[in-house]
Structure 1
Amino acid sequence: MVRTDLYTPYDVNDFPLNEYPRPQLRRDSYRSLNGLWHFEIRKEKFIPSEKREILVPFSPETNRSLIHEEIPQGYYLYYKKEVSLEEFANKEHILLHFLAVDQVCDVYINQKHAYTHEGGFFAFEIDIAPYIKDNVALIEVYVLDLTDDSFELTGKQRIKHGGIWYKGQSGIYQPVFLEAVHKDYIKNLTITPSSRLDGYHLKLETDTKDRITIETYFNGKCVHRIETLNHEVFIPLEAPKLWSPSEPNLYEVVIKTTTDEVKTYVGIRLFERKKDDQGLMRFYLNHEPYFLNGLLDQGYYSDTYLTNPSDQALIDDILLAKRMGFNFLRKHIKIEAYRWYYHCDRLGMLVMQDMPNSTERQDIIFFGILAILGIHPKDSRYKLFGRKHLEGRKNYLRDLNRTLNQLKNVTSIFTWVPFNEAWGQFDSKKAVEIIKRVDQTRLIDHASGWSDQGISDYYSRHIYFTPIWFRKSKAKKRIASLSEFGGYSLKINNHIYQEDVVFGYKVFKDKDALMKALEKLYLKKVASKIKKGLSVLVYTQLSDVFDEVNGLITFDRRVIKVDEEKINEINAHLYDVFMEATRKKT
């Protein structure tokens, strides 16, 4: 039986998620539009139906939305909100931001079509100033979500859900907000730490011809100030404080033009792949070998699905992982809220970022069997990999570029993962080339787990059912990564989505049995592989999700299934083993 009352402990009021939603580019002229909107579920796009209210930004399928209904396939969602804009009357541009709408939407302002957006994971903005009358905006949004019965990227959402596939959700599911700006405002920025670790590069997208002031602060003290007419500059920093998970130092940056002021931040850090003194390829952080020990993080919550119920929910997940001694999270098949990345940056949590992929195949186990046998088909075979339709391939490449652009300024992201377990994988060499053209500061795991094409930075394997082993020769060419393993399951009654369904890779009866198994897994089966070159671990997973009960914490975030202190001790031992394995020989 499916639980309909599985709530996280976080309070949700009538104006949810009202913290500034985009910390990487902040302005004072901000107004949240989260809260109650008029809502309808329509069989036909322009034919009205029952009038209701929904709590934005929660999808109508979720508990917190006030709707909590499955949307019939092919039906439209209709949102409406009237907004007074008197406070913005003296500004030339009024920007309406949607941070994610699933899947395809049309936006109307005062009954005029203003924008069409396709793709359910990405932010977009509309300058609505040309449509405004009498300082009032009537905002109407029509949404159609076909889930995986389309060529859009769906992540793990499926119409036929169960096991590793999750329930679909639709509509507005990330914050909506307004900001007003004068002409020649700063439209976008790119901020990149120098590979010499001596400052950062800043590129501004703006039409201003006036002087720009750039101020850099550390712990509230101005450490550099420059006035320039250039839109691309290098900002030197004297003996900068470097960023790492143990010392997440961030520099605050204030950028001023005649008509605009924005704030951002940057962490000075360097990610590299290079050999240690034993000739094994390792991940390096700020010129030092670094053991990557992480958790798979799906970013789902029992009462809000892909949306975080509160800002504190994001913080708590990150801090739980840190307390247990993990230093990175693999954000799995999802683009997360901007604030999640911000908290990773400021709290010190590295991020391995997946593309929110999709596939036309359902029998993905086929590729898993091939991988166990050491067979990796060429991913130019589009039909075999579930990518036979050109439209799906085009949408993927469109959204790959969107991902790189949307997350480019995140300090903590160290690796991009364009494909996972062959799901819709195609032309991965081309994907790697696209990523490298845009971003030369991060590493790439081109095919996590299966269907390795022998390129990019990692020799990446998923091992659940067979003994954990790596050829040392592989670690001499690429970083050896156990990019998924574990998945040990423990059912906690009254805290699971379906009482009669338990999905996981090995099931245990109680916490003691689970802890003993985890200790054996890490100390007996994994630790010995570090000396042979194993450098990356991704345990499945941080939290339960729907049928999956293999999380370290329950789906509703109310019960931690493991001994935090013991897990921390296990991880500390792994770091010691890695330090010994990579110690310079004298």
Structure 2
Amino acid sequence: MKLLFFVPLLVVALVASTFAQQASWRPVDTKILSPWAAEIDPANPHPEYPRPQMTREDWVNLNGLWNYALAPKGAGMPEAYAGEILVPFAIESALSGVGKTVGKDQELWYFREIEIDRSLRREKLLLHFGAVDWEAEVFVNGQSVGTHQGGYDPFYFDISEALQSGKTQSLAIRVWDPTDEGPQPRGKQVNEPRGIWYTPVTGIWQTVWLEAVPEHHIRSLKNTPDFDNKQIRVQADVAGATAGQRLRIRLLADGTPVGEQLVANQEEAVFMLDAPQVWSPENPFLYDLEVALMDGKKVVDQVNGYTALRKISTARDANGIQRMLLNNEFVFQYGPLDQGWWPDGLYTAPTEEALLFDIEKTLDMGFNMIRKHVKVEPARWYYHCDRMGVLVWQDMPSGDMGNRWESRPGVIGKGTEKDRTPESEAIFRKEWKAIMDANYNFPSIVVWVPFNEAWGQFDTEEIVEWTVDYDPSRLVNGASGGNYTLKGQIMDMHNYPDPVMPDPQIWGDQQVIVLGEYGGLGLPVDGHTWQEKDNWGYQSFKNETELQERYSRLIQDLKPLIPKGLSAAIYTQTTDVEVEVNGLMTYDREVIKFDPAFLRNKHQELYTIKIPMK
């Protein structure tokens, strides 16, 4: 068996030694820790710049130890706090240092004082949150500056008017999260974890940070590739733009200027590429962007970013079957179902190195794609996929479940749709749009997935049509393994453990055919499981040899489906998650259950199958 860091006594010793030096914080007693837990600096966790698509120099990271309290819902700001919590780890996680549940009848309060340097108080000061699950109200010096609902999209508030004289300012955040007792998107979280349903994630779970900007500043960028015309289009939105101001947009390749344009606010700059560098898994080339807001010759504000030229589309093969193309060529997409959970941080990877680790190992194993399953990652995760050349299918986190779905081998599911309340529908639509907006610029994302296995699936045709229209630069997998629809470009079924596909003679004329989930081969590894017994996989094995032999048969059965019409497949899953032991790696990432070279060689067999196109 291939072992990673397989020295548990050493890891425990290192963790204990590190925590002894950080007396004010230590993980709560937990089932298992990842090796990166020992590397956390509680004074500066996740110190990396959190928004790599649009960077500025003047920013301050507010991660670290905050005060916290739990109070009855609606009771107001508490007068005393219960202790310290490590931001950005959810309160239920071991790494928060708290490990408590909250529920719908309580609110979680955060509090800390910060010092605002004079250099940050010139014009506007924005307080950013990468993600807070689920409802967050922010107070500055006791004054409410805004409320946000949504557990998976970044948001910010302008706190300039709430600042007081002097350096010291107080921040308080009220969080309410009903988990599975509310209608909001929440993915796999439940109040009573079991089987494929996991521990709740309440509160701040991504970086909190301050950013100083001028009164007139660049609010957002929108970068759109036009592969066939060898163009990249860039659009910027300016807060408080005046008629005389212009945006100077520069595109660079390896530091060499490709083009420069001066445009008005929200006007597209179109860059013609005479010798385009194309983004793909084999060559994940990224163009750099410099965007400056100009008032005459004066630079009022400037941000830096990046973009890429790539195309995801469909076309018929020689047999008239719809295929999924990357840059106008058929590429079989094969990757793991990646849920992005951690035994110690839950939704939050312990460190940047941990966040990167799963992507690196996925590539080492020879996958070219990842399906990010009913969760949205921090922006830095997508940045690493962009620069490393990983194709990403992005799910919408599910919620408000309870409807029925049907699926069996060879047949796409068609069950009932959820009758959601107007409030529930509005929450879904608002957050799905916010997620798409926040992640539009990442070239690695090639497929949007609004629904999974009919979990809360509603108004399917309308939602899928809207998604297609809102972002025509990507494909839409409208109902992965759920209640089918001919809207969207992809027909997706799930089957465990063996690979199957819908009849291409029935469906292949209309939509791309994919196998959205299969596999789920389980292997519990002693000392690396969430609990000592009663762990499970879709099909369990006793050792690595049995596991690899069964996986080999899965690949052999998968290969003949590709020439018949299959365009992509997704194996469940990247890691074990809580009581599920069907991961390619253990939950703590200390043991890789497969030889990566074995997997890489097996997967290469899938990519070399040639499909003649019309």
TM-score (norm 1): 0.94
Larger deviation: 188-197 or 342-351? 188-197
* Partner of residue 127, structure 2: 96
* Partner of residue 26, structure 1: 55
Q: Deviations over 1:350-407 (max 9, x none)?
A: 100000111331xx7x524578765513xxxxxx434432211111111111111111
Residue 522 in structure 1 maps to residue 522 in structure 2: no
In 2, the alpha carbon distance for the partners of 1:466 and 1:236 equals 46
* Partner of residue 225, structure 1: 260
Asked if 2 retains the 8 angstrom alpha-carbon contact of 1:359 and 1:387, the reply is: no
Q: How far did residue 49 of structure 1 move?
A: 4.8
* Partner of residue 348, structure 2: 307
Q: Deviations over 1:132-154 (max 9, x none)?
A: 11143311001111101111111
Residue 376 in structure 1 maps to residue 402 in structure 2: no
Q: How far did residue 47 of structure 1 move?
A: 3.7
- Within-5 A mapping of 1:440-479: 440-464=472-496, 468-473=500-505, 474-479=507-512
- Within-5 A mapping of 1:395-474: 395-464=427-496, 468-473=500-505, 474=507
Q: Deviations over 1:427-482 (max 9, x none)?
A: 11111222123211000010001210222111110011577243121223211100
In 2, the alpha carbon distance for the partners of 1:194 and 1:339 equals 24
Residue 336 in structure 1 maps to residue 368 in structure 2: no
Unaligned ranges ≥5, structure 1: 378-383
Q: Which amino acid aligns with 1:25?
A: M
In 2, the alpha carbon distance for the partners of 1:114 and 1:371 equals 53
- The structure 2 residue matched to 1:4, chosen from 30, 46, 53, is 30
In 2, the alpha carbon distance for the partners of 1:249 and 1:368 equals 42
Percent identity of paired positions between Structure 1 and Structure 2: 34
- The structure 1 residue matched to 2:247, chosen from 200, 212, 215, is 212
* Partner of residue 392, structure 1: 424
- Within-5 A mapping of 1:42-61: 42-43=71-72, 44-61=75-92
In 2, the alpha carbon distance for the partners of 1:76 and 1:387 equals 28
Asked if 2 retains the 8 angstrom alpha-carbon contact of 1:41 and 1:49, the reply is: no
Quickly say closer, same or farther: Cα 1:3–1:549, change in 2 above 3 A: farther
Asked if 1 retains the 8 angstrom alpha-carbon contact of 2:493 and 2:517, the reply is: yes
Larger deviation: 74-83 or 39-48? 39-48
Quickly say closer, same or farther: Cα 1:565–1:272, change in 2 above 3 A: same
Give SS of 2:341's match: coil
In 2, the alpha carbon distance for the partners of 1:485 and 1:297 equals 13
In 2, the alpha carbon distance for the partners of 1:186 and 1:146 equals 35
In 2, the alpha carbon distance for the partners of 1:469 and 1:144 equals 42
In 2, the alpha carbon distance for the partners of 1:469 and 1:199 equals 36
Larger deviation: 401-410 or 223-232? 223-232
Larger deviation: 504-513 or 468-477? 468-477
Asked if 2 retains the 8 angstrom alpha-carbon contact of 1:59 and 1:65, the reply is: yes
* Partner of residue 380, structure 1: none
Larger deviation: 72-81 or 22-31? 72-81
* Partner of residue 146, structure 1: 178
Asked if 1 retains the 8 angstrom alpha-carbon contact of 2:412 and 2:502, the reply is: no
Q: Which amino acid aligns with 2:283?
A: E
Residue 87 in structure 1 maps to residue 123 in structure 2: no
Quickly say closer, same or farther: Cα 1:297–1:197, change in 2 above 3 A: farther
In 1, the alpha carbon distance for the partners of 2:597 and 2:418 equals 43
In 2, the alpha carbon distance for the partners of 1:179 and 1:396 equals 29
In 1, the alpha carbon distance for the partners of 2:412 and 2:477 equals 18
Q: How far did residue 278 of structure 1 move?
A: 2.8
Asked if 2 retains the 8 angstrom alpha-carbon contact of 1:3 and 1:496, the reply is: no
- The structure 2 residue matched to 1:245, chosen from 267, 274, 281, is 281
In 1, the alpha carbon distance for the partners of 2:120 and 2:426 equals 40
* Partner of residue 110, structure 1: 141
- The structure 2 residue matched to 1:17, chosen from 43, 46, 50, is 46
Residue 254 in structure 1 maps to residue 290 in structure 2: yes
In 2, the alpha carbon distance for the partners of 1:241 and 1:63 equals 44
* Partner of residue 263, structure 1: 304
Q: How far did residue 197 of structure 1 move?
A: 4.8
Asked if 1 retains the 8 angstrom alpha-carbon contact of 2:180 and 2:191, the reply is: yes
Quickly say closer, same or farther: Cα 1:200–1:376, change in 2 above 3 A: same
In 1, the alpha carbon distance for the partners of 2:171 and 2:553 equals 56
Residue 564 in structure 1 maps to residue 612 in structure 2: no
In 2, the alpha carbon distance for the partners of 1:489 and 1:89 equals 52
Larger deviation: 114-123 or 208-217? 208-217
- The structure 2 residue matched to 1:495, chosen from 528, 536, 556, is 528
CA RMSD after TM alignment: 1.9
Q: How far did residue 324 of structure 1 move?
A: 1.0
Q: How far did residue 5 of structure 1 move?
A: 4.3
Give SS of 2:564's match: coil
Q: How far did residue 50 of structure 1 move?
A: 4.4
In 2, the alpha carbon distance for the partners of 1:65 and 1:264 equals 32
Quickly say closer, same or farther: Cα 1:294–1:89, change in 2 above 3 A: closer
Q: Deviations over 1:198-249 (max 9, x none)?
A: 1211111111432322221111222222334454221222211000011000
In 2, the alpha carbon distance for the partners of 1:484 and 1:502 equals 20
In 2, the alpha carbon distance for the partners of 1:555 and 1:89 equals 41
- Within-5 A mapping of 1:129-144: 129-134=160-165, 135-144=167-176
Residue 69 in structure 1 maps to residue 100 in structure 2: yes
* Partner of residue 381, structure 1: none
Q: Which amino acid aligns with 1:476?
A: D
* Partner of residue 67, structure 2: 38
Quickly say closer, same or farther: Cα 1:259–1:419, change in 2 above 3 A: same
* Partner of residue 22, structure 2: none
Q: How far did residue 415 of structure 1 move?
A: 0.5
Larger deviation: 77-86 or 13-22? 77-86
- The structure 2 residue matched to 1:123, chosen from 129, 154, 159, is 154
In 1, the alpha carbon distance for the partners of 2:177 and 2:401 equals 17
Q: Which amino acid aligns with 1:367?
A: W
* Partner of residue 271, structure 2: 235
- Within-5 A mapping of 1:163-242: 163-206=195-238, 207-208=241-242, 209-229=244-264, 231-232=266-267, 233-242=269-278
Q: Deviations over 1:238-279 (max 9, x none)?
A: 211000011000001011122111011001001101112232
- Within-5 A mapping of 1:341-352: 341-352=382-393
Q: Deviations over 1:476-527 (max 9, x none)?
A: 321110010000000011111111121211000011100000001111x111
Quickly say closer, same or farther: Cα 1:19–1:376, change in 2 above 3 A: same
Asked if 2 retains the 8 angstrom alpha-carbon contact of 1:486 and 1:505, the reply is: yes
Q: How far did residue 336 of structure 1 move?
A: 0.8
In 1, the alpha carbon distance for the partners of 2:538 and 2:145 equals 48
Asked if 1 retains the 8 angstrom alpha-carbon contact of 2:498 and 2:554, the reply is: no
* Partner of residue 274, structure 1: 315
Tell me how many residue pairs correspond in the alignment. 571
Asked if 1 retains the 8 angstrom alpha-carbon contact of 2:518 and 2:572, the reply is: yes
